[in-house]
Amino acid sequence: MKREKSRECTFLLLFSNDFHEANEVAKQLDMLIENQNDINENKEDPIIAKEADREYITARVIDIEKNIEEIDKKINEVAVGWSTERMSKVDLTILRLAYYEMKMDEEVPQKVAIDQAINLAKKYGGEESSSFVNGILAKLY
């Protein structure tokens, strides 16, 4: 699976976790895969074809959740006039994932993490989401 797709699946799973218990990660991932594969049923390749992809995404989500307080603290430090409690859940989830990739995942170059976060914001966020996410991440860079 391409990193861009695994990042998107990680984002979707993180977002859904805001509405579910933390111990339901595996169940939520199964539902996400099923839904995504239904949407893409006319394509040859399933969204997540390998067990290694599932493990990679699950491990990232668990690691982000484990570090959520530290991540939110850093976001709050630079989000002038905003707090994580007031941010849209989509924007906040994108910021959490991007911060994790920038500061806690040595495999992802910071500029790639920022660029991909902006792409997620354009796809899933509101009209101002990409600008908002870019502004916060620029301060964290």
Q: What is the pTM of this model?
A: 0.84
Q: Could you tell me which residue, 45 or 112, shows the higher pLDDT?
A: 112
Confidence of residue 10 (pLDDT cuts 50, 70, 90): very high
Confidence (pLDDT) at 63: 95
The model's pLDDT over 11-29, given as tens digits with 9 standing for 90+, comes to 998 998 877 666 666 677 7
Q: Is the pLDDT of residue 131 over 70?
A: yes
Which pair of tokens denotes residue 36? 């995504």
Q: Is the pLDDT of residue 135 over 90?
A: yes
Which pair of tokens denotes residue 27? 């169940």
Burial of residue 23 (CB within 10 Å: 0-12, 13-18, 19+) is exposed
Confidence (pLDDT) at 87: 97
Burial of residue 16 (CB within 10 Å: 0-12, 13-18, 19+) is middle
Which pair of tokens denotes residue 115? 């660029």
What is the percentage of the chain residues whose pLDDT exceeds 90? 62
The model's pLDDT over 64-114, given as tens digits with 9 standing for 90+, comes to 999 999 999 999 999 999 999 999 999 999 999 999 999 999 999 999 999
Question: In order of start, what are the domains of the chain with their CATH numbers?
Answer: 1-66 (no CATH), 67-141 (1.10.940.10)
- Phi, psi torsion values for 71, nearest 5 degrees: -60, -50
> Which ranges of the chain would DSSP assign to H, the alpha helix?
3-17, 25-39, 51-66, 68-78, 89-103, 110-124, 129-140
